[in-house]
Amino acid sequence: MDEWLNLRDIDDDEMRRTLEQTRSYTVVLLHTGPRYTEPGAREIIWEHGRRNMQLRDAGILNVVLPIRDDTELAGVGVFAGSVEETQRIIDGDPAVQAQVLVAEVHPASGFPGATLPA
């Protein structure tokens, strides 16, 4: 199976041990909103980006992924906080408040220490 990928075998015991280490996260999916193309939207998104950098710097927003394929999906964020905490943070986002972006907030699980490659 997928030999060309050089994947190592993972047995059931390792699967169980690894899955026991998962923890809760919150995933935010940002979509373009009804005011995405209105004048001033670019400036609002700039401030949204600044706020994301502040949240990342504070350790609140662990992964920030702007989507670059010109679809209605505009970005993905992974937060370490609860759904309720994350929803409060998202409710304060300038692009969400201005309806430039619309957010979906979802509970998720993942592996602590998982990182994006440098």
Name the band, by pLDDT with cuts 50, 70 and 90, for residue 118. confident
CB atoms inside a 10 Å sphere around CB 79? 22
pLDDT tens column, 53-62 = 999 999 999 9
Q: Nearest 5 degrees, angle CA 115-CA 24-CA 64?
A: 40
What pLDDT is attached to residue 4? 80
Tell me what the mean pLDDT of segment 75-97 comes to.
97
The answer to whether 48 touches 1, Cβ cutoff 8 Å, is: no
What pLDDT is attached to residue 115? 83
Q: Where are the domains positioned within the chain?
A: 35-67+81-110
Mean pLDDT of the chain: 94
Name the band, by pLDDT with cuts 50, 70 and 90, for residue 2. low
The answer to whether 75 touches 90, Cβ cutoff 8 Å, is: no
Candidate from 37-46, 81-90, 92-101, 107-116 with smallest mean pLDDT: 107-116
Residue tagged 């935010």 (tokens) = 28
Q: What is the dihedral of CA 44, 41, 98, 53, to 10 degrees?
A: -30
- CA-closest candidate to residue 54, choices 68, 64, 69: 64
- In 31-80, alpha helices (H): 41-57
pLDDT at 15 over 70: yes
In order of 15, 52, 92, the CA distances from 86 in angstroms are 29, 12, 10
What pLDDT is attached to residue 61? 95
What pLDDT is attached to residue 117? 86
Structure tokens at 44: 């609002």
What pLDDT is attached to residue 114? 84
